[in-house]
Amino acid sequence: MSRFTVSGVSLPSGLFINNEWVPGRGERLQVVNPATEEQIAEIETASREDVDLAVAAARAAFESTWGTWVSGQERGQLLFKLADLVEQNIDELAVLERVDGGKPAGWARVDIEDTVACFRYFAGAADKIHGSVVEIDDQRKHAVLRKEPIGVVAQIVPWNYPLLMMAWKVAPALSAGCAIVFKAAEQTPLSTLRFAELVKEAGYPAGAFNVVNGVGAITGDALSRHLDIDKIAFTGSTATGRRIAVAAAESNLKKVTLELGGKSANIVFSGANLPEAAKWAAFGVYENMGQSCSAGSRVLVQESVYDEFVKLFVAAASAFKVGPTEDEDTFQGPQISKVQFDKILGLIEAGKAGGATCVLGGARHGTKGYFIQPTVFTDVDMSMRIAQEEIFGPVASIIKFKDEAEAIAIANKTEYGLAAALHTTDYNQVQRVTRRLKAGTVWVNQYVMVSHQIPFGGYKQSGWGRELGMEGLEPYLTTKSVHHYYDEEGFEWPIRLTKL
């Protein structure tokens, strides 16, 4: 198998199947550095036939050397070793995410640190997957509920947090004992190639983890429709999530979990600590270049403090450094691709044309790379595209509201329900508003800080199911009911028949 080098890191160019690197029969994929707009690598991709090979390898492993054949303690030990290897190679993994994802150096390293923590959390959970004994009416029976791995799972992740989103899926699946066929986003495959090498080094049996890089229309569709995959997990756009759900239903009714889009509201009430609220709100919009499904891009501000808050927010947004990804003090790097870059600029123009006031940014940053200035719109209402569509870029829409009831109504007036936040010093208000917001995650006096210990997922069209926390194990487990009949007197009809 041929290898190539990116930023001093040597990588294989093929597919990882059955613990071996094999050629891919799909069209070769060009990988571009979004900060320079230059091609940095070319990798092989999986055809539908390659997907079949990967699934067969996963199935063989699950039925013979993995799954229920390996104890929870052993699975946990392997996960701990894998976490250690990721930590030992953090510099290589971080530089790969920087050059193919445009992630600033400091943030790339933080993402890998969070990846390590996620693996260690689920490593600790591997031997704590418990069934139960059920007390039933028939005293001649012993009833047991077993929690077992669901089987072979396909996992597809987006480009905004390549290894971290991988960890959210791979860690609980390996903890449960599932065998995996994994597809990274076509824009950011490099760190996954290095990670696959670490899986083999950790000692996982062949077939327990397989990588099939490729484009969604071919490789992703093949995974979604495969008849020997028991479950698929996807993070990405709502439109793609719909297609995956349909493909899963049309094939073998495989189980599906989806973490999809968002248009989250960040509510600032008049009683908030405004300087702190402005900092958190700005962080919630511009973190990861605005490329976050939970980004608080709708900033709702009570009218009595609107003008003061706008000044504070603009000052906070203006302080973020946009620049080279290799600089440790860079906060905002480039958007992921030319497609995303053009889409975001198009929506900025739509905001201007629709009557919103652009008080900061609103244009390209520099002349090279897909950089966009941190952008702030005021005078926004919910009829505008920038208030309805997921921009997935560094664009904030600041919306005015009168009272608590109107804030809640505006916050919930969206097809999404991934996240929300409120800023207030009124504890009673916290209790009222958090209960009424239709969102899977609600932050109070902060934003975007997630933990591998707390479930994450959305309401409405933001997805199905939850990831992280002990709930994150459940989608990779199935419940088996065991009825053990032990009456020594032998068989007896359950219904007594009498003559008429």
The gap from C-alpha 443 to its chain's centroid, in whole angstroms, comes to 18
- Decide: 403 and 426 in contact? Cβ < 8 Å: no
Are 143 and 481 within 8 A, CB to CB?
Answer: yes
Active site residue: 44, 97, 186, 259, which one? 259
Residue for token pair 């090498």: 197
Q: What does each C-alpha distance from 297 to 5, 248, 312 come to in angstroms?
A: 37, 32, 16
Contacts of 212 (CB under 8 A, 6+ apart): 15, 17, 24, 45, 46, 50, 51, 54, 181, 182, 183, 219, 223
Is-contact 368 37, C-beta < 8 A? Answer: yes
User: 3-state class of 1 per DSSP?
Assistant: coil
Which string of DSSP letters, residue by residue, matches 105-162? Answer: HHHHHHHHHHHHHHHHHHHHHTT----EEE--S-TTEEEEEEEEE--EEEEE--SSSH
String of DSSP letters for 449-465: ---TTS-B--EETTEES
Active site residue 197: no
Residues with active-site annotation: 259
